[in-house]
């Protein structure tokens, strides 16, 4: 199809299945839902290059092709083998993909948190029959409990009564610590919950994190020491995320390694906005963890175990 300029894109927001990337069409005009492994593709319907897929035109004629994955390592999950680029659902709550030996998953159920309020003093998540995801319900409480709940969430300034529509002015800010990075090497995700927003609503925040690159060279420990805690790379590097690259280079600290069976994980961190540029020319910003100090301990995560992980160690603080 010939390209027409200026670009004319649908006014409706793009609705794609869970785990499907938004990519530019061949004209560089409009975002479209990327085609997945085994699906038909064309210049106007490109494959999901974030997942290492490409459009193979050798098997089908008339300008159409089929999405194939570049050669890569397979994934083994609980004894079942998945090919590189293959999407699958291990449970009704997760949509996963095998990416060159690593498994990445996104939740299909909302993990929002509901703060008690005078209208809903006792919110509770309930599992309904024939439904995979739990849903919130409100349980009625006494007037006394309702008042106590409201007082716990909002504080009142006796000197100056806040405006009713200014929730942030009388919001008691609550923020959890950042969770441990989801991957022991390479780019992962760290999360926390906070209500530090204009609506005073508990929301989940995420940031990118990299404890160490997967090809990070192991440094020799000094005499008498068994761990290298926070080495720096010898050269500055660009971060890569979902096929996009950071616009500037960094020299971050990483967590090192130990020779006595302990593992090193972030202990003190900061959060910085990092700008990424994609091959399509788009720019976006994501929060990213930068390590200040690591600690060595025996409470180690199990390697390549994203579903059965018992690792719940948290970082103690975030210094912005």
Task: Tell me the DSSP string of 11-56.
Answer: SSPP---TTPPEEE-TTS--EEEPB-TTSEE-SSS-B-GGGTEEEE
* pLDDT for the residue numbered 218: 64
Residue spans of alpha helices (H) in the chain: 143-153
- DSSP element (H, E) containing 95: strand 94-99
d(CA 254, CA 134): 38
Mean pLDDT of 207-211: 91
DSSP tag of 167: G
Mean pLDDT, rounded, of the chain: 76
DSSP tag of 168: G
Render pLDDT for 232-271 as a digit per residue (tens, 0 to 9): 777 888 998 877 899 999 989 888 888 787 888 888 899 9
* pLDDT for the residue numbered 221: 60
Question: Do 84 and 71 contact (CB within 8 A), yes or no?
Answer: yes
* pLDDT for the residue numbered 288: 93
The Cα angle at residue 81 between residues 79 and 83, in degrees rounded to 5: 165
d(CA 242, CA 212): 17
Assess whether pLDDT exceeds 90 at residue 273. Answer: yes
Q: How far is CA 9 from CA 83, 169, 192, in A?
A: 35, 41, 36
Question: Do 306 and 105 contact (CB within 8 A), yes or no?
Answer: yes
Strands 317-318 vs 263-277: parallel, antiparallel or unpaired = parallel
Residue 161 pLDDT level (bands cut at 50, 70, 90): very low
d(CA 102, CA 20): 17
Task: Compare 87 and 220 and report the one with higher pLDDT.
Answer: 87
Render pLDDT for 305-317 as a digit per residue (tens, 0 to 9): 443 333 344 444 4
Mean pLDDT of 128-141: 79
Task: Compare 218 and 204 and report the one with higher pLDDT.
Answer: 204
Residue 287 pLDDT level (bands cut at 50, 70, 90): very high
Six token digits for residue 142? 């006494």
Place of tokens 């090192």: 256
**Residues sharing a CB contact under 8 Å with residue 292, sequence separation 6 or more, in sequence order:** 253, 268, 269, 270, 319
Q: Which CATH number fits domain 187-216+225-297: 1.20.58, 2.10.90, 3.30.420, 2.40.30?
A: 2.10.90
Assess whether pLDDT exceeds 50 at residue 158. Answer: no
DSSP tag of 124: E
Task: Tell me the DSSP string of 287-319.
Answer: EEEEEEEEEEES-PPPTT-SSS-------SEE-
């Amino acid at each position: 199809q010939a390209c027409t300029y200026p670009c004319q894109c649908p006014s409706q927001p793009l609705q794609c299945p869970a785990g499907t990337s938004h990519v530019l069409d061949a004209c560089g005009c409009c975002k479209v839902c990327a085609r997945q492994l085994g699906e038909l593709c064309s210049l106007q319907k490109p494959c999901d290059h974030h997942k290492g897929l490409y459009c193979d035109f050798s098997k089908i004629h008339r300008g159409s092709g089929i999405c194939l994955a570049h050669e890569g390592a397979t994934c083994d999950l609980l004894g079942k083998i998945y090919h590189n680029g293959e999407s699958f659902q291990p449970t009704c709550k997760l949509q996963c993909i095998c990416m060159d030996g690593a498994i990445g998953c996104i939740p299909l159920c909302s993990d929002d948190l509901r703060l008690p309020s005078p209208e809903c003093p006792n919110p509770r998540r309930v599992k309904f029959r024939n439904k995979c995801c739990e849903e919130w319900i409100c349980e009625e409480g006494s007037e006394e409990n309702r008042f106590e709940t409201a007082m716990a969430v909002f504080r009142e300034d006796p000197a100056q009564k806040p405006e009713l529509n200014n929730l942030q002015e009388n919001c008691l800010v609550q923020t959890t610590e950042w969770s441990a990075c989801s991957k022991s090497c390479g780019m992962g995700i760290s999360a926390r919950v906070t209500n530090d927003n204009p609506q005073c609503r508990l929301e989940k925040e995420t940031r990118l994190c990299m404890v160490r690159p997967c090809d990070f060279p192991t440094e020799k420990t000094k005499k008498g020491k068994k761990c290298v805690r926070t080495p720096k790379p010898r050269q500055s590097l660009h971060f890569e995320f979902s096929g996009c690259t950071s616009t500037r280079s960094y020299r971050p600290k990483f967590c090192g390694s130990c020779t006595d069976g302990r593992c090193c994980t972030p202990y003190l961190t900061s959060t910085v906005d990092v700008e990424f540029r994609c091959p399509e020319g788009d720019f976006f910003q994501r929060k990213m963890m930068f390590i200040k100090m690591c600690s060595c301990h025996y409470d180690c995560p199990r390697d390549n175990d994203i579903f059965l992980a018992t690792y719940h160690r948290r970082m103690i603080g975030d210094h912005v």
